[in-house]
A and B are shown apart, each in its own frame.
Chain A
Amino acid sequence: EAQVTQNPRYLITVTGKKLTVTCSQNMNHEYMSWYRQDPGLGLRQIYYSMNVEVTDKGDVPEGYKVSRKEKRNFPLILESPSPNQTSLYFCASNPTGSNQPQHFGDGTRLSIL
């Protein structure tokens, strides 16, 4: 089954404790993206990647890091999480071309205390 898998689905942690949210897709897609979703603000793109070792900032990259060492994986790293990063996070992938629909994961709900 074609899918985008995020882990964990839920996480409660404390300020400053490094965490990684993993994202994996099994569709051999070149593009992958991370979004955060907050009430009243919709979905905002954090980082995106065109292919292995190629990443770029989205609209809200501050406080986040990403890496793309393999085509299928695109982890989101919070080196020193803060409460304002409490949010619902989505990973997405799609084939080459901006007019190709994105496939989204089921989301990761992070709470930073």
Chain B
Amino acid sequence: LAKTTQPISMDSYEGQEVNITCSHNNIATNDYIMWYQQFPSQGPRFIIQGYKTKVTNEVASLFIPADRKSSTLSLPRVSLSDTAVYYCLVGDVGSGGYQKVTFGTGTKLQVIP
């Protein structure tokens, strides 16, 4: 089961682009990579997912190199409301399609005015 490693915390000023990298050296062929955002006292909320190369949506971009041993979540022009914990997740599809997932410990992003 792939495990993930992320920086514990990051600070950024408003308006800057933020890149958070997650390492998942033991990722399996069928695993997808997902990122979630969590505000205090709330459950995590899905942001973006990918399998390889680059994915972009209205909120973020996700960059995955060819070896898939890491991924980078990119948040363009962050605002104070982006202050949250960001989790990298690698999903493991076992036999029969059972879902067993592993969250990283998360990266606490603090956006500074």
A interface residue numbers (CB < 8 A to B): 4, 31, 33, 35, 40-45, 48, 50, 56, 58-59, 90, 92, 94, 96-99, 101-107
Contacts and interface: CB of A to CB of B under 8 A. Distances in A.
A20 B106 CA distance: 28
Interface residues on B, range: 20 to 34
| 4 pairs of A and B residues whose beta carbons are closest in the complex | A104-B43, A101-B46, A42-B105, A98-B91
Interface of B: 30-32, 34, 41-46, 49, 51, 87, 91-93, 96-106
B103 A99 contact: no
Nearest to B90: A98
B92 A98 contact: yes
A31 B99 contact: yes
A106 B42 contact: yes
A103 B34 CA distance: 13
Q: Which of A40, A42, A105 has the most B CB atoms < 10 Å from its CB?
A: A42
A40 B107 CA distance: 11
A42 B100 contact: no
Nearest to A99: B32
B43 A107 contact: yes
A50 B96 contact: yes
A97 B46 contact: no
Contact of B45 (A42, A97, A104): A104
